[in-house]
Amino acid sequence: MKVIFLKSVKGVANEGDVKDVKEGYAKNFLFKQKLALEATPANMKAHEEKLESLKEQEKLKIAEAKALAEKLKNTKVEFNQKAGDTGRLYGAVTSQEISDALAKQGLPVDKKLFDMKEPIKEAGTHTVKVNIYKEVKSQLTVIVNAVKE
C-alpha cells in the first residue's frame, strides 16, 4: 500500500516521503498515529502542492540565512571581562552573552547556532563559527578585553 508520510518515522521514511508499506502496518499503526495518509490521487495532488510551497519557504529561509551570514562576517562583538595577570578570565564569555550582544546590534542569533566547544576563557581576539541554517555558515569576531581589578 502506498502512503504519504506526514511525519518522520525512524528507520522507515522521512516527512513528505511516498513509500510502499505493508497494509497492516499502514492501517494499524501509521494511520492511527496520524503519521501517514493513503496515497490516493487527491492526497497526492495536495501533497505535491504542499511540497511546492515548502520548497518556496525553504528558498526564502536560505536567502535570509545568507543575508545574515554576510552581516555576521563583518561583525565584531566586544566584551570587557575581569582577568588575572596572565590574561585568563575570572569568568567566561558564553554563547548566550554573544547572542545577547548581537541582539543589541540588531542581529538576532540563537545561542545554539554558535559552534563553540566551550566558553571563551582567554582575553584576546577570537573567531567564532556560526551554523546559521543547514549549509549556510558564517563567522564573527569576538574581542575580549582584560580588565585588571
Superfamily for 2-62? Ribosomal protein L9, N-terminal domain (3.40.5.10)
> What CA–CA distances, in Å, run from 50 to 45, 47, 67?
9, 5, 26
The yes-or-no answer to whether 2-62 and 69-147 have a common fold is: no
pLDDT by position in tens, the chain (length 149):
999 999 999 999 998 899 999 999 999 999 999 999 999 999 999 999 988 998 999 999 999 999 999 999 999 999 999 999 888 999 999 999 999 999 999 999 999 999 999 999 999 999 999 999 989 999 999 999 999 86
Domain 69-147 -> CATH class: alpha beta
pTM for the model: 0.71
Give the E-state strand segments of the chain in sequence order: 2-5, 18-20, 36-38, 76-82, 88-93, 114-115, 120-122, 124-133, 136-147
* Residue boundaries of the structural domains of the chain: 2-62, 69-147
